[in-house]
Structure 1
Amino acid sequence: MADWSGRDYSRVSSLQRSVAAETLAELVVDGGEWVLDIGCGDGFLTREVAARLPRGYIVGVDASPRMVAAAGQTGATAPAGPVFVCADARRLPFGPSFDMVISFNALHWVPRLGEALRGIAAAVRPGGKALIQMVCGSARPSIESTAMQVTRGQRWAPYFAAFSAPFSHPDPADFRELAQDCGLQIDALAVREREWDFESTDQFTAWCTVGCTAWTDLLPEFERAAFIDELVSTYQSVAGRPGLFRFMQLRAELHT
C-alpha cells in the first residue's frame, strides 16, 4: 500500500474532508465509546471525532508511516486522545476492544477488502457498530481504473509489467454478502453519485499527484509528471470537462 505524504495530503484533501464531514454530521455517539478510525490519514477527522468523546477514546490507524507521522505531530486535542498507530487494515493488531469502527474514504485502497472487513468484525465488541464510507464500483471508469488504463500504454507498460491494481471498488450489489461472510450485518446501505469540481486542471493535477503515488512510485522521477498529465488528460473524457472528478460513494452502517 502506498506511503502517502501526510503534509502533501493535508494540502490537497479538501475533497476528502468535505465528503467525510457530511458523514460526521450524521454520526451519533453518546460520548463514552471506544472508536477505531481505519485509514485515518493525517488525523484531521480522527481529532474531530475525539472532540465528541469526552468519556471515550479513539485510535486512528493508517498503513502509511508518513501519514501516521503527520497525524502524531499535532498531538492529542481532547481527553479521548487520539492515539495513532501504523497498521494495515487487513492485519489490524486489535482484539474486540471497540464499540465502533469508522472508515471514511479509505477502504477502497485495500485490494483485498474482505480481509479488512474481517478485521473490523474482529475489532468490534459483540453488538458493536461500524460505519464505512468508500468509493464503489460504477459503470463509469474511475480515476483509479483510468490510471490502470494508462499503465497499459506503450510508454508505461515496461514499468508496470508485474503491477496489480492497488485498489478495490466493490459492486454495491455484492457488498452486503461480502460483509455478511466477514461477520458483519448491514443495517443501512446507500450508494450516491458524487462529483467534485477542482475548478482547474492544475488543481486536479496536484490532487492526482498526491493520490496516485501507488503508480508513480514505480516510475523514474523524471517520468512521473508526464504520467500524471496523461492520466488527467485521459480522465477528462470520463468526467466530461477539465477539473471535474466524479465517483460513486457507498455508505454502510453495520453491526456484529
Structure 2
Amino acid sequence: MADWSGQDYSRVSGLQRSVAAESLAELVVDGSEWILDIGCGDGFLTAEIAARLPHGYIVGVDASPRMVATAVHRGPASPAGPVYVCADARRLPFSRSFDMVVSFNALHWVPQLGEALTAVAAVLRQHGRALIQMVCAGKRPSIESTAMQVAAAPRWSSSFAGFSTPFIHPDPVELSELADGCGLRVASMAVLDREWDFGTVEQFTAWCTVGSTSWTDRLPESDRAAFVDDLVAAYQPVTGRAGLLRFMQVRAELHL
C-alpha cells in the first residue's frame, strides 16, 4: 500500500473532508461509544469525531506511516482521544473493542475489500455498527481507472510490469454480498453521483499528484510530474472540462 504524505494530503484534501463532513452530519452517537476510524489519514476527521465523545474514545488507524505521523502531530489528544496506530485495514490489531467503525474515502484503496470487512466485523462488539463511505463503480471511467490506462500506455508500461490494481470500486450489489459474507448486515445504503470543481488545472493536478502515489512510487522522481500530467490530460474528456472531477460514492451503514 502507498505511503502517502500526510502533509501533502492536508493541503489538498478539501474534497475528502467535504464529503466526509456530510456523513459526519448524519453520524448519531450518544457520546459514550468507542469508535475506530479506518483510513484516518492526517487525523482531521478523527479529531472532529473525538470532540463528540465526552464519555467515549476514538482510535485512528492508517496503513501509511507518514499519514499517522502527521495525525500524531496534529495536536494533543483529549480524554476521548484520538490515539493513532499504523495498521493494515485487513489485519487490525484489536478484538471486539469498538461499538462503531467509521471509514471515509479509504477502503476503495484496499483491493482485498472482503478481508477488510472481515476485520471490521472482528473488532466490533455485539450489536456494533459500521459507517463506510467509499468510491464505487459508476457509468464513467474513474480517475483511478484512468491512471491504469495511462500506466499501460507505451511511454509508461515498462515501469508497471506486474503492477496490480491498487483500488476496488464495487457496485452496491457486490458490496452488499461482500458485507454479508463477512457477517455484516446492510442496514442502509445510498449511492451518490458526485462532482468537485477544483477550479483550475493546476489545483486538480496538485490533488492528482497526491492521489496517484500508488502509481508514481514506481517511477523515478524525475518522471512523476510527467505521469500526472498525462493522467490529467487523459481524464479531461471524461468530464469535458479541465479541473472537474466526477465520481460515484456509496455510503453504507453495516450492522454486526
Shared fold, TM over 0.5: yes
CA distance in 1, matches of 2:23, 2:41: 16
Matched, 1:61 2:61: yes
Aligned partner of 1:213 in structure 2 is 213
Aligned partner of 1:104 in structure 2 is 104
CA distance in 1, matches of 2:12, 2:245: 14
Aligned partner of 1:153 in structure 2 is 153
Superposition deviation, residue 77 in structure 1: 4.1
Aligned partner of 1:89 in structure 2 is 89
Aligned partner of 2:164 in structure 1 is 164
Matched, 1:190 2:190: yes
Secondary structure of residue in 2 paired with 1:74: coil
**Structure 2 residue identity aligned to 1:234:** A
CA distance in 1, matches of 2:219, 2:144: 17
Aligned partner of 1:121 in structure 2 is 121
Asked if structure 2 preserves the Cα contact closer than 8 Å seen for 1:54 and 1:78, the reply is no
**Structure 2 residue identity aligned to 1:251:** R
1:140-176 residue CA offsets vs partner (Å, 9 max, x unmatched): 1100000000011111000001101100111112211
CA distance in 2, matches of 1:238, 1:173: 25
Superposition deviation, residue 38 in structure 1: 0.1
Aligned partner of 1:50 in structure 2 is 50
Give the 5 Å matches for 1:196-235.
196-235=196-235
CA distance in 2, matches of 1:239, 1:118: 35
**Structure 2 residue identity aligned to 1:101:** V
CA distance in 2, matches of 1:175, 1:155: 35
CA distance in 2, matches of 1:57, 1:177: 31
**Structure 2 residue identity aligned to 1:113:** L
Aligned partner of 2:32 in structure 1 is 32
Task: Point out the more displaced range, 195-204 or 170-179.
Answer: 170-179
Q: TM-score, normalised by structure 2?
A: 0.99
Asked if structure 1 preserves the Cα contact closer than 8 Å seen for 2:77 and 2:83, the reply is no
1:209-250 residue CA offsets vs partner (Å, 9 max, x unmatched): 011110001001111111000000000001210000000000
**Structure 2 residue identity aligned to 1:20:** A
**Structure 2 residue identity aligned to 1:192:** L
Asked if structure 1 preserves the Cα contact closer than 8 Å seen for 2:106 and 2:134, the reply is yes
Superposition deviation, residue 75 in structure 1: 3.2
1:26-76 residue CA offsets vs partner (Å, 9 max, x unmatched): 100000000000000000000000000000000000000000000001233
Superposition deviation, residue 132 in structure 1: 0.3
Matched, 1:139 2:139: yes
Aligned partner of 2:15 in structure 1 is 15
**Structure 1 residue identity aligned to 2:188:** A
Structure 2 residue runs of 5 or longer lacking an equivalent are none
Identity %: 71
CA distance in 2, matches of 1:239, 1:5: 28
**Structure 2 residue identity aligned to 1:79:** P
Superposition deviation, residue 94 in structure 1: 0.8
Aligned partner of 2:78 in structure 1 is 78
1:95-125 residue CA offsets vs partner (Å, 9 max, x unmatched): 0100000000000000110000000000000
Q: TM-score, normalised by structure 1?
A: 0.99
**Structure 1 residue identity aligned to 2:130:** A
Cα RMSD (Å):
0.7
Aligned partner of 1:239 in structure 2 is 239
